[in-house]
Chain A
Amino acid sequence: MLSYTLRRLAFFAPMLVGMAVVVFALMHVIPGDPARVLLGEDATPEAVANLRASLGLDRPWPVQLAAFFGRLAAGDLGRSMFLNDSVANLILARLPATMEIAILAVLLSVLLGVTLGVAAAVRQGSPVDVACMMFAQLGVSMPVFWLGILIMYVFAVELRWLPSIGRGAPLPDALWAALTGNPAVLLDSLSHLIMPALTLGLTNAALVSRVVRTSMLEVLSSDFVRTARAKGLRRIRVLLHHALRNALLPVVTVVGWQFGALLGGALLTEGIFGWPGLGQLTVNAISQRDIQLVQGILLTFACVFALVNLAVDLLYCVIDPRVRLG
C-alpha cells in the first residue's frame, strides 16, 4: 500500500502543472481586463496602461506563464492584485474554515444518509421507505442557497437557537479549549458551524441515502446474508456487521466524489452564513479576474480533491479485504 500511495503522490506534480496551465489559459481566454476592474469606472486609459505594465499583464502570455512557474518552483503562489496580500496567506487563512464545514457536512451526510438508506432498505415498500425516499428526492432537488436561507430562518430567526452568521473559534482551538476546561468555546464554535454544515450536508445526505438503499437491498438479498440469518445471528448484527459493511463500498466512492461538489457548494453556503472560507474569495477572485489568486485557489482545491480521492482508494482496503492495491 505504501508504494501505491507514493506512486499516486508522484502523479500529483504533473497533474498540478497541467491544471495550472489550463487555469492560466482559461483566465487569459475569457474576456475582461483585471486592470480595468481594479481601477474601476474612474480609470483613465493612462492609468490602465500604467497598471497593466506594473502587474506584468502587458507581457506575452508565455512569459507570464513562465514567471508563474518560476515563482511556483520557489514556493511562491504570487500576490493578489486586489487584496494586496500574498495568495498563500489568503488561502491559508481561509482553507481551515472551508475544510471545517466540508468535513462536518460529510460526517452529517454519511450519518443521516446511511441511517435513512438502511431504514428504507430494511422496511422496503413501507411508509418509512416512502418517507426516506421523499426526503432523498426533496434533498437532491433543493437548491443549496434556498435551503440555507430556510434553515437560518427556522433556527436563527424564529427559534433563536443558533447564531445566524459568522464563525466561532477554529474547531481545533475550540476542542483544545474544551479539553483544558473551557467547553463554552467549543459550544460557541459548534453553534456557528452547525447550520452551514447542515445546509451543505443535507443535499449530500439525500444522495447517500439513495445509494445506501440500493446497495443494501442488493446485499440483503445475497446468499451470505441469508446464511448469517440462518445461523441465528441477531438481526441488528446481520444488518450492521454483514450487510452494511458490504453496502458501504459504493457509499465511500460517492462521498469521495461528492467532496469536490461540497467544496463547490461551500461557495454558496459561505455567502449565506457569512462564513469566512474560500467560497466568497473564489467567487470574487474569478469575477474580478484576480489571476494569481484564482490559480492559487484552484490548485489548492485540486490538491484537496486529489488527496481525498487517494484517501478513498486507501479506505477501500480497510472496508473490503478483497481489495488489494498494488
Chain B
Amino acid sequence: MRATGQWKAFIGAAAIALSLAAFGAAASAQPAAGVVRVGTDVDAQSLDPRLQRETTGYRVINLVYSGLVQLDAQLNPVADLAERWENPDPRTWIFHLRRNAKFHDGRPVTAADVVFTYRTILDPALNARFRSLYTPIDAIEASDDFTVRIRLKEPYAPLLSYLDLGIVPKHLVDGGRDLNTQPVGSGPFRFVRWDRGSRIVLEANPDYFGGRPRVNGIEFVVVADNTARAQALEAGDLQIIQSPLSPRDIQRLDRNQRFVHAALPGLGVTYLNFNARNENLADPRMRRALAMLVDQNTIVNQIYEGTDQVAGSVLIPSLAWAFDASVRQPGFDVNAAKALFTEMGWRPGADGILARNGRRLQVTLSTHSEDPSRVQSVEFIQNVMRQAGVDVRVQVTDWPPFNTGVQQGRHEVALLGWLLLVDPDRLLYAQLHSQGSLNWGGYNNPQVDQALERGRSALNQADRAAAYRDAARILAQEVPYYIISYQGFHVFTARTLEGFRPDPRGYLRSLAAN
C-alpha cells in the first residue's frame, strides 16, 4: 500500500513538473530591453587581450577594450585611444593618446598602460599566442603621460594593422586582478558576468569616450551546434548569428524574410600546404601538376555549397588595396597535369599509377577531422588524383596531432586554413619567407624573400601592393601554397535589429554607435 502511494506521489510530481514546463513562459528567455543576443559556436578561453586565442574572445575583447587604433570594416586603421600618430622615420612611430579615455574602474588610460600592455605581450613568459606579430618592436616607451613612442628593429609596415590590441590597466594587473576572467578595459561595453560555457554578458559603458552606445548591452550565448544556433535565431532567442554556419542553414535562413543576410568576403583562406622539403614535392613542376588536379569549383560549389569563393592566388579580395585578379595560380586541368608528369619522367605503370625509375608516385594528403567539409575535400582530391595516376593516401586525425605534424614539417600535402588575415604580411611573411617562423614546408625563393621584405618595409601602400603582387605571381607559379578558396563570412541578423553593420572579422563595434 505504501509503495503504491509513493508511486502516485512520484507520478503526480512529475506530471506537475511537465505541465509547469510546458506552460512555462517562453518569453522568459528574452533578454532585458535593448540587449542584443549574439550566438557563438565556442566559449572564450581568456578575456585578457594579450592572451586571446579564439573568435569569441576576439569579439568580446574588441567591445570591452580599446586599442591604440581600431580597424574599420575595410580594415583601415582608424583612431581609437590614439587620436593621431606620426612616423618621423621608417623605424619610429609616435602615438598621441586622447586624454578623456577611462578604464571601466574610472582611472584614466595613460601611456604607461600602453607600454605595459606591449612589454608584457612581448615577454616570452606570458606565452601569448600573437607575440610574434609584435617581435619587430625593439623598444616601446612613454614620452609623457599621453605620448607613446615605438622603436622598430627594422621598418615594419603591417604594424598599424596589429595595434588594435586591447590596452590593459597596469594598476589592476599589478594589483593581482585576473583579466582572464574579470576583464577591465576602456571600450564601449563593460564586462558584467561570464557563465563559463554558457554566456558572456556586457553592458553599455556610459562613460565611453566615444559616447554611450545605443544598445544597453550585448550577450554572447554559446551554442556549439551550428544548426541549433540557426534555430535559436529562428525561435527569436538570438538576434545575430555568424559563420561558422552549415550551408543548408544558410540557404534556409536566406529565404526567410525575418532575417537580413550579409555574405562578406572573409579574412580566411582554405589551402593546400606543400612540403617543399619532400623529395617529390621539391620540384615546383610537381606542385603545379598536383595543384592542377584540384577541382576548386566542385569543392567550393558542391562540398562547401557555395558559401566560399574559388580562390585565384594568395592575395585575398578583402584586402582590396593589394588584391589583383590577374594573378592566377594554376586552374583545374587534368591534361596539363599529365603533360607535366610526363615532362618530369613519370610514366603510368600497369596499375595506372605513375612511376619513375621503379618508384611509384605516392603522396600523403592530410587534414583534421573537426571540419567534415575538409575531410570530404581531401577524399575528393584523392579520387581525382588517383584517376590521374597519383597514389594518394589520405590521413585524417583530430587537430592536435595534425597541427603538430604540420608545424614540425612532417606532412607532405596538408589541407588547412588561415584566419584573420588583416594584412597580406599576415599570410605571407612568416609562412613563405625562407627565414619565416611558420615556413613549415621549407619553401625557399630569394626573389619571394625580397618581395616580402619590400612589402614589410615600404611605408607607401602602393609600393606595398606592388611588392605583394610580385610575390604572388612567383608563388602562383611555384605553388608552395595552393589556395583552394577564400572563406566566405555569413551573418544573419533579425530584421528588427537596427544600425548593425557586419564586419568580416565578426566584430560588433557597430553596436557601439550612439
Chain A residues in contact with chain B, CB under 8 A? 30-34, 36-48, 50-51, 54, 82-85, 90, 93-94, 107-108, 111, 145, 148-149, 152-153, 156-157, 160-168, 184, 186-188, 190-194, 237, 240-241, 245, 270-277, 280-281, 283-284, 287-289
Q: List 14 A-B contacts (CB under 8 A).
A: A31-B401, A33-B400, A47-B124, A50-B124, A93-B197, A148-B228, A164-B232, A188-B29, A190-B21, A191-B24, A191-B26, A274-B222, A276-B199, A287-B398
Instruction: Tell me the smallest distance from the CB of A296 to a CB of chain B, in Å.
Output: 14
Closest to B237 in A: A164
Across the interface, B178 reaches (CB within 8 A) one of A84, A148, A280, namely A84
| Whole-angstrom CA separation of A188 from B29 in the bound complex | 8
Instruction: Tell me the smallest distance from the CB of B38 to a CB of chain A, in Å.
Output: 12
Whether A160 touches B399, Cβ cut-off 8 Å, given contacts A187-B24, A240-B7, is no
Across the interface, B224 reaches (CB within 8 A) one of A166, A167, A271, namely A271
Interface string of B363-374 (1 = CB under 8 A from A): 000000010000
Instruction: Tell me the smallest distance from the CB of B197 to a CB of chain A, in Å.
Output: 4
Across the interface, A164 reaches (CB within 8 A) one of B3, B43, B235, B401, namely B235
Give the chain B neighbours of A164 by CB distance below 8 A. Answer: 29, 228, 231-232, 235, 237
Segment from B11-19, B98-106, B454-462 that makes contact with A: B11-19
Whether A160 touches B225, Cβ cut-off 8 Å, given contacts A32-B404, A240-B4, is no
Q: Is B228's CB under 8 angstroms from A280's CB?
A: no
Give the chain A neighbours of B17 by CB distance below 8 A. Answer: 190
B477 at interface, CB cutoff 8 A:
no
| Whole-angstrom CA separation of A237 from B42 in the bound complex | 53
Closest to B11 in A: A111
Give the chain A neighbours of B403 by CB distance below 8 A. Answer: 32, 36-37, 41
Q: Is B235's CB under 8 angstroms from A274's CB?
A: no
Give the chain A neighbours of B222 by CB distance below 8 A. Answer: 274, 276, 280
B130 at interface, CB cutoff 8 A:
yes
Whether A84 touches B51, Cβ cut-off 8 Å, given contacts A32-B403, A111-B14, is yes
Which residues in chain B, 206-261, are within 8 Å of chain A measured between CB atoms?
A: 221-225, 227-228, 231-232, 234-238
| Whole-angstrom CA separation of A168 from B4 in the bound complex | 33
Whether A84 touches B46, Cβ cut-off 8 Å, given contacts A38-B53, A287-B400, is yes
Residue tally, chain B, CB below 8 Å to A: 69
Q: Is B131's CB under 8 angstroms from A166's CB?
A: no
Give the chain B neighbours of A145 by CB distance below 8 A. Answer: 225
Across the interface, B400 reaches (CB within 8 A) one of A34, A51, A277, namely A34
B445 at interface, CB cutoff 8 A:
no
B280 at interface, CB cutoff 8 A:
no
Instruction: Tell me the smallest distance from the CB of B372 to a CB of chain A, in Å.
Output: 13
| Whole-angstrom CA separation of A247 from B180 in the bound complex | 54
Q: Is B132's CB under 8 angstroms from A165's CB?
A: no
B195 at interface, CB cutoff 8 A:
yes
Give the chain A neighbours of B221 by CB distance below 8 A. Answer: 165-166, 274
| Whole-angstrom CA separation of A237 from B5 in the bound complex | 11
Number of residue pairs across A and B with beta carbons under 8 Å?
215
- List 3 A-B pairs, minimum CB-CB distance, nearest first: A32-B400, A191-B24, A163-B29
Give the chain B neighbours of A152 by CB distance below 8 A. Answer: 228, 231-232, 235
Instruction: Tell me the smallest distance from the CB of A313 to a CB of chain B, in Å.
Output: 19
Instruction: Tell me the smallest distance from the CB of A39 to a CB of chain B, in Å.
Output: 5
Q: Is B198's CB under 8 angstroms from A167's CB?
A: yes
B342 at interface, CB cutoff 8 A:
no
Closest to A276 in B: B198
Q: A160-B26, A187-B23, A187-B25 given. 20 additional CB < 8 A pairs?
A: A32-B404, A36-B407, A39-B127, A42-B132, A44-B437, A47-B132, A161-B22, A161-B26, A163-B235, A165-B39, A168-B28, A190-B20, A191-B25, A193-B21, A240-B4, A240-B7, A280-B43, A280-B224, A287-B370, A289-B400
Q: Is A274's CB under 8 angstroms from B46's CB?
A: no
Chain B residues in contact with chain A, CB under 8 A? 1, 3-4, 7, 10-11, 14, 17-18, 20-26, 28-29, 39, 42-43, 45-46, 51, 53, 124-125, 127, 129-133, 178, 180-181, 195-199, 221-225, 227-228, 231-232, 234-238, 370, 397-401, 403-404, 407, 416, 418, 430, 437-438
Q: Is B232's CB under 8 angstroms from A83's CB?
A: no
Closest to A286 in B: B398
Q: Is B28's CB under 8 angstroms from A274's CB?
A: no
Whether A43 touches B228, Cβ cut-off 8 Å, given contacts A90-B196, A276-B196, is no
Give the chain B neighbours of A277 by CB distance below 8 A. Answer: 197
Closest to A267 in B: B224
Q: Is A191's CB under 8 angstroms from B236's CB?
A: no
Give the chain B neighbours of A153 by CB distance below 8 A. Answer: 231
Give the chain A neighbours of B14 by CB distance below 8 A. Answer: 107-108, 111
Give the chain B neighbours of A48 by CB distance below 8 A. Answer: 407
Q: Is B407's CB under 8 angstroms from A43's CB?
A: yes
Whether A186 touches B20, Cβ cut-off 8 Å, given contacts A90-B196, A149-B227, is yes
Instruction: Tell me the smallest distance from the CB of A146 to a CB of chain B, in Å.
Output: 10
Closest to A178 in B: B20
Q: Is A163's CB under 8 angstroms from B225's CB?
A: no
Q: Is A274's CB under 8 angstroms from B181's CB?
A: no
Instruction: Tell me the smallest distance from the CB of B492 to a CB of chain A, in Å.
Output: 14
Q: Is B223's CB under 8 angstroms from A37's CB?
A: no
Which of B127, B196, B197, B225 is the most central at the interface, judged by chain A CB atoms within 10 Å of its CB?
B197
Closest to B370 in A: A287
| Whole-angstrom CA separation of A271 from B401 in the bound complex | 24
Closest to A153 in B: B231
Across the interface, A32 reaches (CB within 8 A) one of B127, B198, B399, namely B399
| Whole-angstrom CA separation of A41 from B25 in the bound complex | 46
Whether A191 touches B45, Cβ cut-off 8 Å, given contacts A41-B403, A277-B197, is no
Whether A42 touches B438, Cβ cut-off 8 Å, given contacts A186-B20, A192-B29, is yes
| Whole-angstrom CA separation of A237 from B3 in the bound complex | 11
Closest to A156 in B: B235
| Whole-angstrom CA separation of A41 from B7 in the bound complex | 58
| Whole-angstrom CA separation of A54 from B124 in the bound complex | 11
